[in-house]
A and B are shown apart, each in its own frame.
Chain A
Amino acid sequence: MDLQAYEFLASAVLLVDHAGCIRHANSPAQVLFALSAKQLCTMSGCDLLNADPALRSRFGGVISGKFGVLRQDIVVRRQADTVLASLTIVPMEGGPWAALLELRALEPYLLLDRTQQLSKELAAQRESLRNLAHEVKNPLGGLRGAAQLLDAELDTEELRDYTRVIMAEADRLTALIDRLIAPQSEGLRKTRLNIHEVCERVYTLLQAEFAPQVHVDRDYDTSVPELDADFSRLVQVLLNMARNAAQSVSESANGGPDLGTVVLRTRIGRQLILADRPVRMGLVVSIIDNGPGIPPGIRDKVFHPLVTGRTNGTGLGLSLAQEYAQQHGGLVEFDSWPGHTEFRLILPLEQA
């Protein structure tokens, strides 16, 4: 193999032998770690990557040919500072090398900027919604009051039906506006909780609403540690995500032979990027469905209030979910293509 070819790449490439020792490092690797090729070739891959026990064991698995390609984001130590990088470990069979390590530095500021931009946009939108709500409630006050006065002047029940409709519809608008501006003020009521209590509540509610048209699977990692969070808000977050999933699969199935499936999954995630910082360990709750996916036209704005893909949707569910997740220092993100949509609630877990 022509090792010189690796010099033309922008990403850092390291080759390790069957003992896990580095045997070759291209120039971008030397730049990334700020070490010479000679220095790098005295180190083991695990030590260089400052691998935690989980990565160490997976690293060993790749080298011994047990696993295939491994991808994950890691924090690389470079002398005094650290760099966030995406790591790919590719097993190499039949050569003098056991595996190839490819590293690309992620621009954390770009990533952070993107998520911070989103939360700023959402905050600005909430502000204009609050102003709009105020402007709408004044005329509603006049409307409802006038209807109530008219109601008192009318002598027959049939005529009162008209004023009752006016008042009920005014109340409905008020309730909608209150939902739009509700999540702002009051603080979180945090308790120590197990995320699976939240998941089970959501599971029960989902079953009650959608069984038997939708099949709900649970895939829990029971080793997930407890966390301090607001139980009812987390239920609301996951329920909003899960109801979208269930509605999407039940609408698309429409009596067809394939049963729509929604999966509730919990995992521990490492080296995650949240809105304002990278975190070492986090809780990832995924809601996965096999529905048609998010329409491409609304993909970049699903978290904005009043954006919905359904004719009878309010467009408030995900905006509220995102807001509650952010109140917990976390976020909601998603991947979607036809047949697979995964929404993830990511919450930071403090170090044990």
Chain B
Amino acid sequence: MKPVWIVDDDQSIRWVLEKALAREAIPVRTFASAQAMQAELQHSVPEVLLTDIRMPGQDGLSLLHDIKQRYPDLAVIIMTAFTDLESTVKAFQHGAFDYLAKPFDINHAVISAIFSSM
């Protein structure tokens, strides 16, 4: 199984997700920025990608747009602290597989979203 990739500039979110996925025996790699993830994309492709929306540098929606151009079959799950309708609609219009509102429930929301995207 290929690893799940996580892009979030918030260190504690990365840590929590890493631990939660490790508990389910899901391999995981984390990145602090979209740029770092794009660089790694030269060498390998993830099973599923989880990304935050608001980050310094390239934001999550623009990253989602890039990924859908190059890897249309890769499932991307958007995480955001914005709970308004507008960013949800945007995420799905850009082809997001799922949408997680922070703070999320690890067992119910995160793990089930990842399993159903595999």
B73 surroundings in chain A (CB, below 8 A): none
Q: Are B16 and A185 in contact (CB under 8 A)?
A: no
Q: How far is the CA of A174 from the CA of B105 in the complex (A)?
A: 12
Contact of A170 among B19, B23, B83, B103 (CB under 8 A): B103
Instruction: State whether A174 touches B103 (Cβ < 8 A).
Output: yes
Instruction: Report if A145 contacts B (CB, 8 A).
Output: yes
B20 touching A137 by the CB < 8 A rule?
no
Judged by DSSP, the binding face of A is: helix
Enumerate A134-157 residues with CB–CB distance to B below 8 Å: 134-135, 137-146, 148-149, 152
Does A92 count as interface, using CB distance less than 8 angstroms? no
Q: Inside 8 A of A144's CB, which chain B residues have their CB?
A: 103-105
Is B106 at the interface (CB under 8 A from chain A)? yes
Nearest neighbor of B79 in chain A, beta-carbon distance = A141
CA distance A148 to B15 in the complex (A): 13
Q: CB-CB < 8 A to B106: which residues of A?
A: 145, 148-149
Query: A206 contacts the other chain (Cβ, under 8 Å)?
Result: no
Residue of B nearest to A186 (CB): B85
Q: Is the CB of B103 within 8 A of A141?
A: yes
1/0 per position for A172-190, CB-CB distance to B under 8 A? 0010001001001110000
**Least Cβ–Cβ distance between B117 and chain A, in angstroms:** 19
B38: interface (CB < 8 Å):
no
Q: A138-B102, A140-B103, A143-B103 are in contact. Are A149 and B85 (CB under 8 A)?
A: no
Interface residue range, chain B:
20 to 34
Contact of B81 among A137, A185, A186 (CB under 8 A): A137
Contact B81–A145 (Cβ < 8 Å): no
Report chain B residues within 8 Å CB of A41. none
A133 within 8 A of B: yes
Does B113 make an interface contact (CB < 8 A)?
no
Q: Are A145 and B13 in contact (CB under 8 A)?
A: yes
Contact of B102 among A137, A146, A148, A185 (CB under 8 A): A137
Choose one: B82, B83, B85, B103; the contact of A145 (CB below 8 Å): B103
Could you say which residues of chain B place their CB within 8 Å of the CB of A186?
85
B35 within 8 A of A: no
Is residue B17 within 8 Å, beta carbon to beta carbon, of the partner chain?
yes
A88 smallest CB distance to B (angstroms)? 49
Q: Which of chain B's residues 71-91 have a Cβ closer than 8 Å to chain A? A: 81-86
| A176 smallest CB distance to B (angstroms) | 13
* Structural contact, A184 and B81, CB atoms closer than 8 A: no
CA–CA, A170 to B103, complex, Å? 8
Interface residues of B in 22-47 (CB under 8 A from A): 23
The residue of chain A having its C-beta at the shortest distance from the C-beta of B16 within the complex is: A145
B3-20 at interface with A (beta carbon < 8 Å):
10, 12-13, 15-17, 19-20
- Does B65 have its Cβ within 8 Å of any Cβ on chain A? no
Which residues in B have their C-beta under 8 angstroms from that of A141? 10, 12-13, 16, 81, 102-104
6 examples of A-B residue contacts, CB within 8 angstroms: A138-B12, A143-B12, A143-B103, A145-B16, A145-B103, A174-B103
Beyond contacts A138-B13, A138-B102, A146-B12: 4 other A-B pairs, Cβ-Cβ < 8 A, are A138-B81, A142-B16, A144-B105, A148-B107
Q: 6 nearest interchain CB pairs?
A: A142-B12, A145-B16, A137-B81, A141-B103, A141-B102, A140-B103
Q: Which residues of A approach B to under 8 Å, CB–CB?
A: 133-135, 137-146, 148-149, 152, 170, 174, 178, 181, 184-186
